[in-house]
Structure 1
Amino acid sequence: MNIKILVAAHKLCEMPKSDVYLPVQVGKALHPDLDLGYQPDNEGENISEKNPYYSELTAIYWAWKNLKADYIGLVHYRRYLGMKHGKDKWQCLLTKEEAQALCKEHDIILPQKRRYYIESLWSHYEHTHDISHLEKTKAIIAKDYPEYLPAFNEVMKRTWGHMFNMFIMKKSYADEYCAWLFDILFKVEKQIDFSSLSAFDARLFGRISELLLDVWIETKGYSHKEIKMIQMGNENWPQKIKYFLAAKFFGKKYMQSR
């Protein structure tokens, strides 16, 4: 069983030693002189130049079009999947053997749900970003993929979701997912005026796709298994909560990643 878990990164950083992980330099087309020694996302058919708008999705697009594997996954240089607990986070990352065992039993492997408690996914996006992005997405789904609209509406009402564009799944499933996802995102892209967006706000397609993964999984009826999301470094939870509440109650949009 050939499993490749892409590790999206835009800078040099520590990487897992196991060959089940494939570090991918995202946005390589925009930085041709920067060679991190990782798999570049601008080889073969690619959207590397769209990285300022698609974030880590340029890595999965490259894999969709160019990578040969039985299963593929996507994680980030700061966020991984794992099953163990311990002080040394690098020792807790999902191993090749663990990934193989999970893939034999489940269609899709996901991180544990991210819970927002007092916000639905729709209202959280509305309070932190430009809700017209989701409105355009919904309109395209209603027109071109109406069978996905019930799941879309249901997912948007929830106070939780499988976030961060992290997963492991059969390559055939990933091919199917990417064909659906990128068709929608490319159509949304045609309706966006990027000249009015900051660099932070321009990364909207990575955010929209976070919300669409559950829509696709539930419409298809594929089974999934949740495992730990391992954050490298420390998250400033008091600050996260502060900005979360400021967005909800005082209309202060996010100006940087939270």
Structure 2
Amino acid sequence: MCNIKIFVTHIPNKEDEIINNSLMINVVAGAEYQTKPLSDSFIPDNTGDNISKKNKAYCELTTQYWAWKNIKADYYGFCHYRRFLSLTNKKYTSNDPSGRGQIYIKVLNDTTAHMYQLDNDRSMKAYIEKFDCILPCKQNLSTLPTPIGKQQNVYKHFEGHNRLFMNGEDLQILLDIISEKFPQYFSIANEFLNQSFFWGYNCFILKKEYFFELCDFEFSVLKELENRIDMSNYNQQMARMPGFMGEILSCIYFYKLIKEKPNLRLSEVQLLYFENTSKYTQINPIKTNNIPIVFNIDNIPPFLFLVTIKSLLSNIYKAEQYDIIILHWNISSNFIKLFDEQFYDYTNIRVSYINLCSIYDTLKERHLYPADSRILLPWILSEYNSVACFNWNILFNQNIKNLNTISLNDQLIIGCKDILMIGMANDVSDKYEKFLVDDLKIEDKNNLLDYRAFIMNLSQIRQTMQPLKMLNQLNNIGQNKKLSISEELNIIFQKKMFLECYELLYYYTEDINEIRVIKQAPLNLYNKYNANENKAFLISYNPSCLGSLNGSKINIAYWNIARTLDVYHLLLEHFSFVLCSSGIQPLKHRSLSNKARGCLRCIRDHGFLYTVKYGIKKIIALN
């Protein structure tokens, strides 16, 4: 039986998904620069005979050198952590925005690896054994741009990247070395460089004899190239010149091999490119008497969430443990650090972060587009039994411990009714009611969940529902419609919710249209809503109301918290823009006396210079 090894190159200190395939060996290229502990799933390239220290110049070629010198196999293959050869007979339509013919896939995980048969080592092995040489499909470099426009051949294409990938004369030095050290390659090298096709990215599979022949040629030339070219003044990108030259040298070898061996068993296959390869880490619950809390901070400036964090921290017991999970979409590490700083003095709180991008990208590969990630929480948090789900625009009115008094029983969802959505369903115009009943198949227009805060019985949902079935249901109902978060939750969980927990949430708004709609709700619900204003566990606010100057209880509570934050200036700038764009009490509609009072208040709270700058910004915005 053939011994096939496919070496998958990984970057030091970067945690990426790996594919479960017995043929694949995950190697950290440049392991000399690895500072984090290396898991058993990876092999470093700095053992035995190696050039790991040269990784910053040689790139993935340090893996190739290590495999050549240290590993025995019948076939040697090479891929990257995000680029893989498609070793099947199936052909995919290229969607490569760069025009290089790759197959772009949003995310790498078990699902997408299986979709593209990358986890099928048996069929992969059978495919490889049919050939002596497997290469990615050729790229036509004459169709690809360079900084000086499209170029007609390989030589001109790389010359067109002068001072980006290499200096212009570096390529000629490469040819001089080939002429001197490997004259049998010289005419082939010139012929290859004067045509336009190229096998890129150092991804290939070769039988042992051809692989050793390639490495002897390639690394001998590169070693001499290092001796002849002074790279001390090259920038970070140009310092990778040996890696780029390695690509050219391997292509020269492939070109020679194909031309001189007409009976060579050759296959050119598509190259799969995965955009998001970050490893998803399963979160396990901690021991606590308090229900875990999940915040969703989707599509907002992250600094707005800091007020919610501060409000939360003022309503906990330091003697008890808390488990907090933050769902986000690629927020920067700087903001995560800023969030973590708020919890430094709270050793009783564990904060975890889940980036939803990889999860959603997987669903998009299957043409499933839920609006709300919380629908999938039972499976995202597969080790949890229940969680409290909150939007980002929440203020805490009571201690979190009071959440534990809410009994789940066998209900899938515990929450309160969405008075705004119910008001819309009972409006004079019955258009929205018809949409709910006829299009969304919602049977009770007066029993609609408020998505801003609710408790999910995750274990019960996992027992009674299937995620793909849920998503397909949404996909079928939502065809040609963009469903809201609230609509999706109510479609999936109708008849499986207990929505009489009025004390959980009060929704605060100053928007004239929303106030009018709320009054359209049934009177008994409207009365319960009003009675709940001062005793609700949570207050959810319409963010636009925080830019107004009416001195409401919510405004005062919000800004009292905001003043304690280092990002206070960002909050002021944000809500001054909201004020100007929303039409809520803009300055040009206020009386002179009101303007004066507002000015004096601003001077009192923020100082004279800040008030002048703020006033100038307001005038510019209004004009």
TM range (shorter): 0.7 to 0.9
**C-alpha distance in 1 between matches for 2:215 and 2:124:** 21
Q: Give the alignment of 1:24-35 within 5 angstroms.
A: 24-35=27-38
Pick the structure with greater CA Rg.
2
Task: String of CA shifts for 1:114-153, please: whole Å, max 9, x gaps.
Answer: 2222422111111113222211110001111111111111
> Are 2:175 and 1:151 equivalent residues in the alignment?
no
> Are 2:144 and 1:124 equivalent residues in the alignment?
no
Q: Partner residue of 1:110?
A: 135
**One-letter identity of the residue aligned with 1:52:** K
Measured on the aligned residues, the alpha-carbon RMSD in Å equals 1.9
CA drift at 1:107: 1.3
Task: String of CA shifts for 1:167-210, please: whole Å, max 9, x gaps.
Answer: 10112221121111100000001112221011211111111111
> Are 2:185 and 1:184 equivalent residues in the alignment?
no
| SS of match in other structure, 1:137 | helix
| Displaced runs of 4 or more, over 6 A | none
Q: Partner residue of 1:90?
A: 113
Q: Partner residue of 1:242?
A: none
**One-letter identity of the residue aligned with 1:103:** I
Unaligned runs of 5+ in 2: 93-104, 106-110, 144-149, 277-623
> Are 2:176 and 1:139 equivalent residues in the alignment?
yes
Of 31, 38, 43, the residue aligned with 1:39 is: 43
> Are 2:202 and 1:199 equivalent residues in the alignment?
no
Task: String of CA shifts for 1:231-250, please: whole Å, max 9, x gaps.
Answer: 1118xxxxxxxxxxxxxxxx
CA drift at 1:219: 2.4
CA drift at 1:58: 0.2
Q: Partner residue of 1:13?
A: 16
Of 51, 54, 59, the residue aligned with 2:55 is: 51
> Are 2:277 and 1:230 equivalent residues in the alignment?
no
Q: Partner residue of 2:330?
A: none
Structure having greater relative contact order (Cα 8 Å, sep ≥ 6):
1
**C-alpha distance in 1 between matches for 2:203 and 2:46:** 21
Q: Partner residue of 1:67?
A: 71
| SS of match in other structure, 2:6 | strand
Aligned positions, number: 234
**C-alpha distance in 2 between matches for 1:232 and 1:102:** 22
**C-alpha distance in 1 between matches for 2:178 and 2:61:** 19
**C-alpha distance in 1 between matches for 2:23 and 2:250:** 23
Unaligned runs of 5+ in 1: 235-258
Q: Percent identity?
A: 32
| Contact kept in structure 2, 1:74 and 1:166, CA below 8 Å | yes
Task: String of CA shifts for 1:44-70, please: whole Å, max 9, x gaps.
Answer: 000000000100000010000001111
| SS of match in other structure, 2:5 | strand
Farther-moved stretch of structure 1 (186-195 vs 80-89):
80-89
| Contact kept in structure 2, 1:80 and 1:93, CA below 8 Å | no
